[in-house]
Amino acid sequence: MTFRQLLLELKFDENIEKAIMDYIENHEAQIKELSRTAYEKTEDVFTLCTKDPFTRLVVITYLLVQAYDVYKANNIPDSIIFDTFRDVSLRCNLHYRRTNKMEVSEEEVEWYRSIFQGNIFKLGCMQFEKTKMVYFGGEKDKNSDLELFNRYQSILPEGTPVLSCHIQEGEDLSEHSVDHSMQMASAFFEQYFPEYKWKAYVCYTWLLYPKMVMHLKEHSKILKFAKRFEVLCSFDNSQLAMRTLFPTNADYTRNDLTSLQKMAIEHKDWFGFSCGVILRESRL
């Protein structure tokens, strides 16, 4: 897989694609060296995070050529590889349309490690990542069910293999789409990673926050998605929800706000962050 072939598969906005290709053609030796040291740490900071945001984008894209070999070593089909890799172009395209900037944030540099390690896969409407069960510390929301939380610490001890579910912006969370995605995941990991004995789907997201969910309309796709999970704990921190719902300050004053955005503006205290679980044997 050549860099040019891979770049075409990513489906970047044509302006971004051209900018990346032009930069590689003129600075490939520099980008190759930066790629070699991108995830080395100095004082707990990745080397790549010290570079300017556009350089980060070029290096991340360049590293996907190596990541392709990691995925192919496990015989993953090209269709799944490219669907997975397009997380990079999806995020970049959305940001470019909003800000006219071509860049990768420091937070995204950290996030893309899961791709370079070959641990995350886009299957249907969700991404599934091989991870270990983690129970967040800190003060939990007063509505958290501590009895349930403690029970699950016995059922799913810290470090238990799980599949973390991630939802990209704009994805369809209809019941059919989510059912299909989870069925794909179950079959996929059984076929390509039979040695990975995962015990549950886990989702760490603002979409499960009970105080918000209880105010959603009966037909809401988010409500139906949330009802699949047992919420183990919640945190009274709306930062992730607000950043997702309002990527730029201008989004607060749009004329076409969704009902969820209106709710967030009027009742910010209804939004937080939760950890939800679906045990493998009780899926769907």
Neighbouring C-alpha atoms within 13 Å toward the C-beta of 205: 21
Give the strand pairing for 200-205 and 161-166: parallel
Q: What is the pLDDT of residues 89-102, one digit of tens each?
A: 999 999 999 999 99
CA distances from residue 255 to 16, 92, 100, 268 in whole angstroms, order as listed: 29, 24, 21, 19
Joined tokens for residue 190 = 């059984």
What is the model's pLDDT at position 54? Answer: 98
pLDDT at 51 over 60: yes
pLDDT, average across residues 168-181: 96
What is the model's pLDDT at position 249? Answer: 85
What is the model's pLDDT at position 69? Answer: 97
Joined tokens for residue 189 = 């990991």
Q: What is the pLDDT of residues 99-151, one digit of tens each?
A: 999 999 999 999 999 999 999 999 999 999 999 998 876 556 666 677 888 88
What is the model's pLDDT at position 145? Answer: 73
Contact 74, 193 (CB under 8 A): yes
In the block, which residue shows the tokens 């172009």? 89
pTM for the structure as a whole: 0.94
Backbone angles phi, psi at 236, to 5 degrees: -80, 70
The strand pairing partners of 120, in sequence order, are 129
Q: What is the pLDDT of residues 11-25, one digit of tens each?
A: 999 999 999 999 999
pLDDT, average across residues 40-61: 95
Joined tokens for residue 228 = 């699949």
User: What's the mean pLDDT when you consider all of the chain?
Assistant: 93
- Please provide the DSSP assignment of 68-134 as one string: HHHHHTTT--HHHHHHHHHHHHHHHHHHHHHHS-----HHHHHHTHHHHTT-EEEETTEEEEEEE--
What is the model's pLDDT at position 23? Answer: 97
pLDDT, average across residues 48-76: 98
Q: What is the pLDDT of residues 222-281, one digit of tens each?
A: 999 999 999 988 888 999 999 999 998 888 888 889 999 999 999 999 999 999 999 997
Of 60, 47, 77, the closest CA to residue 12 belongs to 60
List, as own/partner pairs, every contact residues 108-114 make where C-beta atoms lie below 8 angstroms and the sequence separation is at least 24, other chains included: 108/56, 108/60, 109/38, 109/46, 109/48, 109/49, 109/56, 109/60, 110/46, 112/60, 112/63, 112/87, 112/88, 113/39
- Percent of the chain past pLDDT 70, that is, above it, reads 96
Of 162, 44, 156, the closest CA to residue 110 belongs to 44
* Residue 181 parent element (H or E): helix 175-192
Joined tokens for residue 244 = 């997702």
Q: What is the chain's Cα-based Rg?
A: 20
Domain boundaries, the chain: 1-117, 119-284
User: In the CATH hierarchy, which top-level class contains the domain 119-284?
Assistant: alpha beta
